[in-house]
Amino acid sequence: MAHTLPSSDQSSDQDKWDSGGLECKGQLLIKIVMRNRLTALVVDGDTTCWVLEQELLHSYGVQTLGVDNSRDAVDLIASDAEFNLIIIEKILPVLNGLAVTRQICEIGVRCKMLEVTACSRESERQAFLAIGVDVFIERPLDPEHLVPILRELDGQ
Amino acid sequence: MERNPMRRQLAIMRQSLFDQGHVDEQFVQLEELQDDANPNFVEEVVTLYYRDSARIILNIEQALERKPFDFRKLDAYMHQFKGSSSSIGAKKVKAESTLFREYCKSGNGEGCMRSFQQLKKEYATLRKKLGAYFQLARQAGPVETASRPK
């Protein structure tokens, strides 16, 4: 991620002092216009990450549902709830991410699946991609990875 | 336009968080998710992080008291801890987590313990600094829509 951190250019220092530095808003959050209302399921056992992932999706107008364990995730999917996108963390309570992803794919869900994890080893990455995960990324979930996926789902 | 000294101090504090390597670009992303509808988002997420990660830290501490070390378990805890730390942009904490995991992988117990001590230090330092930053932010009041100086 090659983002310039604020305050490296002197000319806008004045503005930054006045707004407490929050004027860099819009610098990282890539702006896109969504045509459709997408829905996403966020499956993450870590509350901090869960909150962030949902908030990020909300900021793009995506409706989200969040669960923090595998059992609820599988139950939801099995009950015919439909999602455009599923975001799953690798380590989850009850079943690990790999097992629950496999179950979801077996139920026959055909939507975009995004795996988020803190550290990836090549073997893990391959394992997830092999069972049908579309994208495997390292934490944290960021606009750079998310936006192309949202665009694709939106048919842009 | 009035130059608010508190805002200025706030900006300086914020910049030093970046300059000293305590936080990275992810922190900026948190700030970008903060808006009128969610005016305290950053502070809320950071508070959530410290609340939840306290449990993981305790788990790791307890695991380090049991000999021989269960490196797989330690690694799993740290994997989760690293995940949330990177989500709030905690740069030094994240770096130390990575180091810890390397020690786990190579079965280096001494390294794990040293690294964990350092991690706890960074974790506590960040908490203090962010605490002071948020406190000042609250005192300085809500951000007004920036208008170009005349």
- A6 vs A145, residue with greater confidence: A145
Residue A65 lies in a domain: yes
| b/e map B16-55, b = 16+ CB within 10 Å | ebbeeebbbbbbbbbbbbbeeeeeebbbbbbbbbbebbee
Is 60 exceeded by the pLDDT of residue B5?
A: yes
Q: What is the pTM of this model?
A: 0.79
Q: Is residue A97 part of a domain?
A: yes
State the ipTM, two decimals. 0.79
- Is the pLDDT score of A96 beyond 80? no
The reply to whether A2 falls in a domain is no
Q: What's the pLDDT tens digit per position in A22-34?
A: 333 445 567 778 8
Note whether A48 contacts B49, CB cutoff 8 Å.
yes
Query: Considering the domain boundaries, does residue A13 fall inside one?
Result: no
For the residues B4-33, what does the mean pLDDT come to? Answer: 94
Mean pLDDT within A78-100: 79
Mean pLDDT within A65-77: 88
Domain that holds residue A127: 39-154
Count A/B contacts: CB-CB distance under 8 Å.
125
Cis peptide preceding A140, ω within 30 of 0: yes
CB-based contacts of A139, cutoff 8 Å, min separation 6 = A49, A116, A117, A118, B82, B83, B86, B87
Fold of the B5-32+40-135 domain:
Four Helix Bundle (Hemerythrin (Met), subunit A) (1.20.120)
The 10 Å CB-count burial string (b at 16+, else e) for B113-149 is: eebbebbeebbeebbebbeebbebbeebeebeeeeee
| Interval B53-60 mean pLDDT | 96
Mean pLDDT of chain A: 76
Name the one residue in this structure whose structure tokens are 């000042």: B136
Count up the domains in chain A and report the number: 1
Is the CB of B29 less than 8 angstroms away from the CB of A140?
Answer: yes
pLDDT of residue A125: 80
Going by pLDDT thresholds of 50, 70 and 90, the confidence category of residue B100 is: very high
The verdict on a CB contact (< 8 Å) between B11 and A7 is yes
Per-residue pLDDT reduced to its tens digit, A102-115: 887 777 666 787 88
Question: A7-11, A68-72, A141-145: which range is least confident on average?
Answer: A7-11
In chain B, what residues touch A18 (CB-CB under 8 Å)?
1, 3-4, 7-8, 146, 149
Say which range, A96-110, B73-87, B110-124, has the weakest mean pLDDT.
Answer: A96-110
Residue B68 preceded by cis peptide, ω within 30: yes
Q: How many other β-carbons are positioned within 10 Å of the β-carbon of residue B108? A: 16
The CATH number that applies at residue A130 is: 3.40.50.2300
- Domain coordinates in residue numbering, chain B: 5-32+40-135
Averaged pLDDT, B26-36: 92
In a domain, A144, yes or no: yes
Is residue A105 domain-resident? yes
Give the C-alpha separation, A29 to B74, whole Å.
35
